[in-house]
Amino acid sequence: MSEEKKDSQISAGSGEKKEKRLVGIKFHPAGKTYFFDALEHELCFSDPVIVETENGLAFARVVTPVCAFPREQCPPNLKPVVRKAGRTDMEREKKNREREADALKLCLERIKSRELNMKLVRVEYLHDGSRAIFYYTAEQRVDFRELVKDLAHELHTRIEMRQIGVRDESKLVGGIGNCGREVCCASFLTEFSPVSVKMAKDQCLAMNPSKVSGLCGRLICCLAFEHPLYQELLKGMPALGSVVETQEGKGKVLELNPIFQTVSVQLDEGIKKFPGSQVKELEPAPKPELAEPAEVPEELKKLEE
C-alpha cells in the first residue's frame, strides 16, 4: 500500500472522529424530543429503536433525520442508540404493556387497603423490565414505603414512585377537551407554558371557569400558544372602555372581536357594531385604578399556575 493511500485513510478516519451522528427520538407521541448518538445505525423516521438511558434500556421512535455535528457542539455524556428494535423487542414491549396493566391493578388494591391519600395515574416498565415506574398525584406528602415493599415483593423488580402534577396527569391519560378534539397536551404539546387569566381576557372569552379550564382543572393550554396571535390582532384596535369616533357619532367601546376585527360601541341610540378600521380612538380607556374592577371569579384565579 502506498504512503499516499495510508495518509488519506488516516485523514479520513480522523475526520470521522471529529463528528457525531445525532438522531432525535421520542419515548411518547407528545413527549419531548431527545437526541442520542446514532453511531453507525441507518435510521429513518418512525423507526423503533432501543436506546440507553440513565435508568436502563428504553423503547423509543425516531422523529428526526440523522445529522452529523462537530463533537464540540454535541451535548456532553451523549447516550447511544443501542440497536433498531427487532421482533423480540416488539414482543417484549407488548409483554410490558400487559405487565403494566397487572401492576396498575395490584397497586390500586394496595393503595386502597393501606388507605393512602394518593391517586395512581399510570405504570410504566422499562424495556428490559429492570424497573417499574408508578406515576401518581397527591395533595400532600405520602408515606409509601410499605406500599413499595408490597409492590417489590409481588412484582420482583425495582420500584420507583414518581409524583406528577395535574397537568402531567392529563398528558399521560389524555381525553377530549371543550373544543371536541383530543387535549393538546396529549396530542402534540411537548412543554407546558404559564397560563394567566389575562390571556383569557385578551382573547375576549367569558370569565366562566367551566369554559376556560381543561380536564386538569387548570386554565386551558391553548390560551398560551394562541395569545401572541391575539396580541397582534389587538394592536390596531381601540382599547376596551375608550371613547371612539364612528360614522354615527361618538361612543364608548364595550366589546372587541379580534378575529373578525369588529368593535361594539355604546352610542346614544344603542349598541352598534363597526369594523375596526372605521373606528378612531379619541380618548384612551380609564387607568386601571380608576376603571371599574373586572369581574373575575375567585375560583377562576385559582386555576392559574
Of the ranges 146-155, 233-242, 251-260, the best mean pLDDT one: 146-155
Determine the number of helices (DSSP H) and then strands (DSSP E) in the chain: 9, 14
Mean predicted confidence (pLDDT) in 210-217: 86
Question: Would you state the pLDDT for residue 234?
Answer: 86
Residues 274 and 251: beta-carbon distance below 8 Å: no
Read off the DSSP letter of residue 175.
-
* 3-state per-residue secondary structure call for 230-262: HHHHHCCCCCCCCEEEECCEEEEEEEEECCCCE
Angle, helices 87-113 vs 145-155, to 10°: value is: 140
Residue 296 binned pLDDT confidence (cut-offs 50, 70, 90): low
Residue 291 binned pLDDT confidence (cut-offs 50, 70, 90): very low
Residue 41 binned pLDDT confidence (cut-offs 50, 70, 90): very high
> Over 70: is that where the pLDDT of 102 sits?
yes
> Over 50: is that where the pLDDT of 6 sits?
no
Question: Would you state the pLDDT for residue 200?
Answer: 87
Tens digits of per-residue pLDDT, 145-177?
999 999 999 999 999 999 999 999 999 888 998
Which CATH code fits 90-164?
Answer: 3.30.300
Q: Looking at the DSSP assignment, which residues form a beta bridge with residue 25?
A: 34, 62
- CA dist 191 → 8, 54, 184, 198, 229 (Å): 47, 21, 10, 20, 19
> Over 60: is that where the pLDDT of 280 sits?
yes
Question: Between 198 and 91, whose confidence is greater?
Answer: 91
Mean predicted confidence (pLDDT) in 93-105: 95
> Over 80: is that where the pLDDT of 105 sits?
yes
How are beta strands 56-62 and 243-246 bridged, if at all? unpaired
Answer whether CATH 2.30.30 is correct for domain 240-283. Answer: yes
Question: Would you state the pLDDT for residue 304?
Answer: 64
d(CA 190, CA 164): 15
Ordered by start, the domain boundaries in the chain are: 17-85, 90-164, 171-233+295-301, 240-283
Residue 9 binned pLDDT confidence (cut-offs 50, 70, 90): very low
Question: Would you state the pLDDT for residue 190?
Answer: 84
Question: Between 295 and 157, whose confidence is greater?
Answer: 157
Residue 301 binned pLDDT confidence (cut-offs 50, 70, 90): low
Q: Which of 53, 13, 15, 56 is nearest to 37 (CA)?
A: 53
> Over 90: is that where the pLDDT of 107 sits?
yes
> Over 50: is that where the pLDDT of 266 sits?
yes
